[in-house]
């Protein structure tokens, strides 16, 4: 996996820049660097002897530990332990929040979650809302990932062309990635509401006003569209880097043979983009399954439960709702985690295979 990501590395040459600006940069750069680095130099003077001592006492192995411990300690306390606790929670029952006050119930929560007559009909399940969330998440991921990959692909192909303002447009599509999910949800809720911008446009074309977020179809489409809007810039960049890493002479050769563009795409571009595409696909899948903040702010899960996704279900049951049940939420999150692990293994498998194919 590491190789392919290293391979994704951009080789983009700096684009034509202003000469005067460069001169200013050349003059200011070293000065600025010295000012910024001064505290670092001082720190390093102080640390060096200590580290030397540790290395002398504990050897290189000790130094590995020194490098790893700060990160892994924090990681262990704030990520691993909560995950383990979560696992324990899923075997307890009751409404109490703290683990030591909760009763052990064994696999009851899992039984309750998976108690279904027909998995395709949420209403036949003991926990109908869990299955509704599962269905919604499944369809969301299916459509959102397809849309995300195709839109990012098209944009990357266009940005890979030799045209004016490429740097500008590349930045344009990246802009929403920097916004917080809450702001993204807020902006679009504001546009899609009854008195919003979209209805202004729609009525200008003579159509009737629609309360978009009250309609099952439109609300679902909005959740898909908005999350694509917010993240496509990121995936576009990964694909673009892959496109730029494809040797130019391949295209030149194809051009000399007068190969039709569609054939060039299927025979050269797509196969060579394989590893990047795999990264994009699996990352988009993982993020799709985790969808929460922007959809929650945008639709609140409505209309009805049409846009209630898995993470919202877990958050509501475990934390927010009047009908709180932390054990059930933990069990649901473990099940969701299992699905995510399968997706990760898929990522590893896919990239291994792509790597082998490339070596051949």
Partner 1 sequence: MKKVFLGASVLALVAGTAAAQTQTPVRVMWYSDGVEGAVMADILSRFEAENPDINVILDNVAFQVIQEQLPVQLASGTGPDIARVTNLKAQADHWLDLRPYVADPAYWEANFGDRFDWMRPDGSDAIPGFMTQLTLVGGFANATLFEQAGIELPGPGASWDDWIEASRQVAEDQGLPAAFSIDRSGHRVAGPLAAYGETFIGDDGLPAPLSDDAMEFITRLVDWTGQGLMLPDTWVSAAGTTYRAAADDFTNALIPFYYSGSWQVANLSTKIGDAFDWVATGSPCGPVGCTGMAGGAGLVGIRYTQNPEAVARVMDYLASEEVVREFTERTLFLPAHAGIVAEGGLNFQSDDPNVPPALSRFVEASGETLPATDALPAWRWANSVYGALVTRISQAMAGELTLEQARALIDRDIADQVEAAR
Partner 2 sequence: MSTILTFLTRRRGHGGRWHWTDVASWVWLIGGTVLMFGPALWLISSSLKDPAQLAEFPPTLLPYVQQTAAVEGHDTPLPLFTVTMEDGSTRDLAQVRRIGANAQMVDPGDPDAQISVRIADRTPVRDVGIAHGNYTDPFLHFDFFVYLRNSVFVTFFATILTLFTNSMAAFALSKYRFRGRDAVLLVIVGTLMVPLSVILVPLYSVVSRVGLLDSLWGVILPTIATPTGVFLLRQYMLTIPDDLLEAARMDHASEWQIYWRIILPLTAPALAVLAIFSVVWRWNDFLWPLVVLSRRELYTLQIGLNTYAGELNVQWHYILSMTVVTMIPVVLVFVFLQRFITTGIAGAGVK
Instruction: Name the binder of 47 from partner 2, partner 1, none, CB < 5-8 A by kind.
Output: partner 2
Rule CB under 8 A: is residue 134 a binding residue for partner 2? Answer: no
Those residues whose C-beta lies under 8 Å from the C-beta of residue 54, and which sit 6 or more positions away, are: 62, 63, 66
Q: Is 115 in the site for partner 2 (CB under 8 A)?
A: no
Which residue number, 131 or 188, has a Cβ lying nearer to partner 2? Answer: 188
CB atoms within 10 A of CB 16: 7
| Binding flag, residue 176, partner 2 (CB under 8 A) | yes
String marking each residue 11-50 x if it binds partner 2 according to CB under 8 A: -x-------------------------------x--xx--
Q: Which of 25, 27, 194, 216 binds partner 2 (CB under 8 A)?
A: 194
Binding site for partner 1 (CB under 8 A): 93-98, 101, 123, 128-129, 132, 194, 211, 213-214, 216, 219, 299-308, 312, 316, 319-323, 325
Q: Identify what 288 binds: partner 1, partner 2, none; CB under 5 to 8 Å per kind.
A: none
323 binds, among partner 2, partner 1, none (CB under 5 to 8 A by kind): partner 1
Residue 318 as a binder of partner 2 (CB under 8 A): the answer is yes
Which residues share a beta bridge with 103?
93
Report the nearest approach of partner 1 to the CB of residue 143 (Å): 19
- CB neighbours (10 Å) of residue 221? 15
Secondary structure element (H or E) that encloses residue 93, with its range: strand 92-93
Q: Helices (DSSP H) in 246-325: which residue ranges?
A: 248-256, 261-264, 270-289, 293-299, 310-315
Report the C-alpha gap between 263 and 61 in whole angstroms.
Answer: 54
Report 257-316 residues binding partner 2 (CB under 8 A): 261, 276, 279, 283, 286, 290, 292-293, 311, 314-315
Say how many residues touch partner 2, by CB under 8 A.
105
The footprint of partner 2 on residues 50-109 (CB under 8 A) is: 51-52, 55, 60-61, 63-64, 66-68, 70-72, 74-75, 77-83, 85-86, 89, 97-99
Question: Hey, is 125 helix, strand or coil?
Answer: strand
Neighbours of 321 (CB within 10 A): 12
**How deeply is 13 buried, as exposed, middle or buried, from its count of CB atoms within 10 A (0-12, 13-18, 19+)?**
exposed
Of 143 and 315, which has the nearer Cβ to partner 2?
Answer: 315
Element (H, E) at 92: strand 92-93
How far apart are the C-alpha atoms of 135 and 305, rounded to whole Å? 11
Q: Is the Cβ–Cβ distance between 96 and 102 less than 8 Å?
A: yes
């Amino acid at each position: 996996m590491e190789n392919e990501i290293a391979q994704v590395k951009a080789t983009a040459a700096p684009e034509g820049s202003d000469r005067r600006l460069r001169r200013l940069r050349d003059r200011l750069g070293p000065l600025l660097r010295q000012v910024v680095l001064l505290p670092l130099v001082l720190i390093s003077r102080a640390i060096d002897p200590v580290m030397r001592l540790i290395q002398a006492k504990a050897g290189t192995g000790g130094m590995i530990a020194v490098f790893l411990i700060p990160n892994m300690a924090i990681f262990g306390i704030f990520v691993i332990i909560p995950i383990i606790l979560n696992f324990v929670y899923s075997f307890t029952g009751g409404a109490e929040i703290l683990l030591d006050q909760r009763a052990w119930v064994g696999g009851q929560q899992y039984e309750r979650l998976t108690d279904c007559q027909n998995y395709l009909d949420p209403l036949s399940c003991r926990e109908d809302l869990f299955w509704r969330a599962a269905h919604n998440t499944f369809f969301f991921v299916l459509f959102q990932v397809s849309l995300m990959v195709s839109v990012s692909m098209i944009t990357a192909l266009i940005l890979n062309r030799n045209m004016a303002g490429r740097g500008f447009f590349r930045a344009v599509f990246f802009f929403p990635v920097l916004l917080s999910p809450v702001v993204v949800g807020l902006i679009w809720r504001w546009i899609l509401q009854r008195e919003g911008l979209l209805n202004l446009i729609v009525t200008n074309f003579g159509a009737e006003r629609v309360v978009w977020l009250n309609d099952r179809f439109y609300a679902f489409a909005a959740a898909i569209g908005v999350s694509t809007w917010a993240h496509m810039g990121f995936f576009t960049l990964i694909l673009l880097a892959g496109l730029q890493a494809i040797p130019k002479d391949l295209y030149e050769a194809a051009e000399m043979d007068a190969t039709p563009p569609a054939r060039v795409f299927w025979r050269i571009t797509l196969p060579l983009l394989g590893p990047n595409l795999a990264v994009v696909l699996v990352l988009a899948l993982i993020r799709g399954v985790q969808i929460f903040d922007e959809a929650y702010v945008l639709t609140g899960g409505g209309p009805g439960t049409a846009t209630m996704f898995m993470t919202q279900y877990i958050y509501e049951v475990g934390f927010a709702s009047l009908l709180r049940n932390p054990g059930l939420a933990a069990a649901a999150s473990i099940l969701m985690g299992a699905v995510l692990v399968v997706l990760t293994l898929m990522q590893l498998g896919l990239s291994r295979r792509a790597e082998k194919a490339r070596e051949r």
